[in-house]
Every structure is written in C-alpha cells, then in structure tokens.
Amino acid sequence: MRVLRRALAQTQKELFQFRRDPLTVMLAFVLPFVAMLMYGFATKLEAKDIPVAIANYDSGKFSRDYVDCIFASGQFIPITWSGKHVLDPLDDSEAKATIVIPPEFSRRLKQKQRAEVQVLIDGTDVNNARIIKNGLLALTESYLAQEGLPQKRSLVTPRIRLWFNPGRKETLHIVPGAIALVTWIFPALLAAFAMVREKEQGTILQLYASSITAFELILGKAIAYFCIGMAVSAIVILESFIVFQVPFVGNPLAFFICTVLYVASGVVFGTWAGTRANNQMAAVQICAMVGFLGSMLLSGFIYPIRNITYPISLISNVVAARYYIEAARDAFVRGGSWTAHWYAPVMLAGITLFFLALGVAGMRKMQLSK
C-alpha cells in the first residue's frame, strides 16, 4: 500500500507539472488530433482521378469511342498536352500514363483485324502503376463488349465477394493504423521528457535522496502519462467515429483491454527511454525513431507485414503497434470473434512488462552510479 501511495504522490506531482507547460499540453492533445486528421485523410494509396494523356494518331470513330470509354468510368481524367513526344507528359509528371493509339486503329477494327494500343505507364509510383494497368485492361474489355467486337471469352468467371469492406474504402484500413501510431508516440514522448527533465534540472538527485524507490518512481510517472495517454486515445477514437465515420463492430471489452495495454506499453517504453537518454534531444530521437519506424513501417499500418523483407520482418513480432492494429481492425472493420487474436493482449502485456522491468533496472543502475 505504501508503494502505491508514494507512486500516486509522484503521479500527482507529474500531472501538476504537465498542466503548467502549455507547449507540452499542445503536444499531448492538439498534435495527436491534427496528426490523426492528416494520416486519415492523406494516407491514401489508390489514386482516383488519375491524369492520363492521349496520343490519338487515328481519326476514325472507333478510336474516339475508345477514348470516351476510357474516361467514362471516372477513374482516369484526360489532360491536354502540347509537347511533341509522347513521353513529355510523363517526364514532367503531368500524366501518370500515356495511351498511344496508332493511325490504323479504326481501319483495322472495321476490317475485323486486331488493333494494338500502346500504353506507357509511369512506374515511379509502384502501387498505382499496377492499378493503372489493371484499370485500363478492364476498360478495354468493356469497350470491346460495348462495341460488340470480338473479345477473349474467359471460361472461368469469378464471383468475387469482398468481405468486411465491400466498398474498398481505404479509410477503414488506414484509421486503425493511424490510431495506433498516434496513441503510442505522443504519450511515449511525454513520458520520456518527464524522466529526462528530472535529470537535466538535477531534481533527480533529490529523488535519489528521498525514500522513494526506483520502482515507485517509474510507476508514479507511468501512471501519470498513462492517464494522459488514455485521454489521447479517447480523443482519436472519437475523432475516428465522428470525422472518419468508422463504425464499431467488434467486442468493446476486448478492444478496451487492448487499448489499456497498448497505451501502457508506449508510456513504459517512454520512461525507459528517459532513463537511457541524457538529454531531451536524445530522448526525442529514441522515441521518434522507434515509434515511427516501429508503428509505421513494421506494423502493417500501410502495407501488409508479409511484404517486409526477411530478417527485418522478425522485428515486427515485438512491435506493440502490430498487435494493436490487429485488435483495432477487429474492432472497427472485421467484427470477428476476438479470440482469433487472443495473442494480441498477451503480447501487449508482455511488451509492457518487459519495458517496465528494463526501466526499473536502468533507474536502479543510475542511482548506484551517482
């Protein structure tokens, strides 16, 4: 009991100190809100309104209909270009693709011969290059059907059912990841700041001299920033419901438990980083590096984890965000039984305890060395 009382006294002091610094309060609440908006809206992979240049060397009706058909779907928008060479619109990034229709296009089709169309696609945007190619192939098929021209009949027709996200809305995929990114980094940063501040201002010596133990100190600070972290989490989750219109379809209790453990893992990591770093600059470096690299790149936030090159892919097994994103996708998109990802809360708890132990050990060592 005494342990808890002393830890809570530390928590109270920390929260009081936090309130007094407007810049940190902004960092804690305003930046996560803005970050969520940006990630949610701007991290879209699939381009809509893809600019396409047409080089039509044919003057017949067929080619005009073909061009109309390409732009009728709304996936592509035409751009006017004045350059001489068909590569020009791609070189100056005005178009993502150029479609070259040869002069004999209409004549050949009229005589029931095959006509060839050349498509030049900007491969620098790797993801959309594939999408453009597939999109144009599908539109060409529909053009052939529409004109009653012979086309290859596929004998196997797939009836594809898209589960969970039939409209293929990218927000449903990105929002859980953005929640994970934001609720980890900012509380971790603040906790690290708090630890380093004691060191930089020398007040840590007073703490050494007092009867508070390393465990109580870390616990006290962690509880303070855990409260702030949960507030951040509440803000961004509400934002997801209101701004991004994400539904809640999962098990609330399972998601709540995962959120608690996940926020705790971030805060505990921050306190550990604070015991290691000697100044705030280093603390920020550690938290930002681990936070952004881990939660953004190794967590499946944007692209699937299976695409990560081995052996770097192994690291993602100990990234907390990875497990939280799975839990969040269950909660917001899948709505399946949470038992399928029973390991998520277990791993999150494990990661939290690991960094708590590291932090306490680091703190003890510091006390001895002084």
CA distance linking residue 193 with residue 156, whole number of Å? 61
Q: Which residues pair with 266 in a beta bridge?
A: none
Toward another protein, which CB reaches closer, 2 or 114? 114
CA distance linking residue 199 with residue 367, whole number of Å? 11
Q: Which residues 217-256 are close enough to bind another protein by CB under 8 A?
A: none
Which of 8, 144, 318, 361 lies at the binding interface for another protein (CB under 8 A)?
A: 144
Distant-in-sequence, close-in-space partners of 215: CB < 8 Å, separation ≥ 6: 3, 360
Q: At its nearest, how many Å lie between another protein and the CB of residue 9?
A: 25
Q: CA angle 220-226-229, nearest 5°?
A: 150
Report DSSP state, residue 54: E
25 binds another protein (CB under 8 A): no
Which of 166, 242, 252, 369 lies at the binding interface for another protein (CB under 8 A)?
A: 166
Q: At its nearest, how many Å lie between another protein and the CB of residue 105?
A: 8
123 binds another protein (CB under 8 A): yes
CA distance linking residue 280 with residue 197, whole number of Å? 7
Which of 20, 80, 84, 157 lies at the binding interface for another protein (CB under 8 A)?
A: 157
295 binds another protein (CB under 8 A): no
Q: At its nearest, how many Å lie between another protein and the CB of residue 38?
A: 4
212 binds another protein (CB under 8 A): no
84 binds another protein (CB under 8 A): no
Q: Which residues pair with 59 in a beta bridge?
A: none
Toward another protein, which CB reaches closer, 168 or 370? 168
Q: At its nearest, how many Å lie between another protein and the CB of residue 135?
A: 8
Dihedral of the alpha carbons of 197, 203, 205, 208, in degrees to the nearest 10: -90
CA distance linking residue 370 with residue 365, whole number of Å? 9
47 binds another protein (CB under 8 A): yes
Q: At its nearest, how many Å lie between another protein and the CB of residue 282?
A: 6
CA distance linking residue 310 with residue 295, whole number of Å? 18
CA distance linking residue 209 with residue 131, whole number of Å? 64
Which of 2, 84, 114, 370 lies at the binding interface for another protein (CB under 8 A)?
A: 114
23 binds another protein (CB under 8 A): yes
